[in-house]
Amino acid sequence: DRSIKIAPSILAADFANFGAECAAVEAQGADWVHVDVMDGHFVPNITFGPATCAAIRPHIKGVMDVHLMIAPVDPYIDAFADAGADVITAHLEAGPHIHRTLQAIRGAGAKAGLALNPGTGLGDVGHLLDMVDLVCVMTVNPGFGGQKFLDMSAKIRDLRAMIGDRPIHIEIDGGVTPQTAPLVAKAGADVLVAGSAVFKGGSVADPAPYGANIAAI
């Protein structure tokens, strides 16, 4: 179903070759490049920041989709926008002022995304939908790639109903594989993040598996 966009997460890529990995995975059919920013505070892992985003920007022709698993978020929004992020997604759980954060992301010229951890319901989402271009439904507890998929189909269906015909993406993030993708696509998702399922078996030197892995999702 090619109306579904695939957004490989570079968390599963070769950390010594991010630029080349972004170019390779796009050449193999990736629609977006998903960049998992982790601060070791909001999530128990540390990855990379605005400088890495700026460094890989020239190697990405399409959408650079930046997922901020950081708290606080607001002090860093401009740095990620300046680094060239097309979408900046903040977690609802990252602090008390999500409304201000979403305003600041759009104010910085990026599209605004709202990420929901598996434990977070939709109760606080409805009135924010006019402030977002994307809602990211986490199907793992954030921090690591290669985790087991958590089935959030009911939440995705309810969210799709809330969105109605507004141009808002539902992005699914975590544990997406050829086995789990149909489930979330049926529930109403249109952007699927996949790290381990895309990068497994390939490398910058041999990127063909990336294409086969993307096609299989």
The residues in 77-136 that bind ligand DX5, with binding defined as CB under 6 A, are none
> Does residue 33 interact with ligand DX5 by CB under 6 A?
no
According to CB under 6 A, which one of 23, 37, 56, 195 is a site residue for ligand DX5?
195
Tokens representing 131 are 């402030």
Q: How many contiguous H segments (helices) and E segments (strands) does the chain have?
A: 8, 8
Tell me whether residue 11 or residue 24 sits nearer to Zn ion (CB atom).
Answer: 11
| Least distance from Zn ion to the Cβ atom of residue 122, Å | 19
Contacts 24+ apart (CB under 8 A), 181-189: 181/4, 181/217, 183/151, 183/153, 184/139, 184/152, 184/153, 184/156, 185/1, 185/4, 186/153, 187/152, 187/153, 187/154, 187/156, 187/157, 187/160, 188/156, 188/157, 188/159, 188/160, 189/4, 189/137, 189/156
28, 89, 101, 196: residue in contact with ligand DX5 (rule CB under 6 A): 196
**Residues in contact with ligand DX5, shown as a per-residue x/- string from 137 to 166 under the rule CB under 6 A:** ---x-xx-xxx-------------------
Listed in order, strand segments (DSSP E) in the chain are 5-8, 32-38, 63-69, 87-91, 111-116, 134-138, 169-173, 191-194
Q: How far is the CB of 7 from ligand DX5 (least distance, A)?
A: 8
Catalytic option among 36, 39, 65, 86? 36
Q: Tell the smallest beta-carbon distance from residue 154 to ligand DX5 (Å).
A: 20
Task: Name which of 133 and 173 has its Cβ closer to ligand DX5.
Answer: 173
- DSSP assignment letter at 27: H
Upper half-sphere CA count for residue 9 (Cβ side, 13 Å) = 28
86 as an active site residue: the answer is no
Q: Using the rule CB under 6 A, is 201 a contact of ligand DX5? A: no
Q: Which of 39, 74, 173, 190 is catalytic?
A: 173
Contact segment (CB under 6 A) with ligand DX5 among 21-29, 105-113, 152-160, 191-199 equals 191-199
Which one of Zn ion, ligand DX5, none interacts with residue 202, CB within 5 to 8 A by kind? none
In whole angstroms, give the CA distance from residue 31 to residue 15: 21
Q: Which residues bind ligand DX5 (CB under 6 A)?
A: 9, 11-12, 34, 36, 67, 69, 140, 142-143, 145-147, 173-176, 193-197
Q: Which residues are catalytic?
A: 36, 173
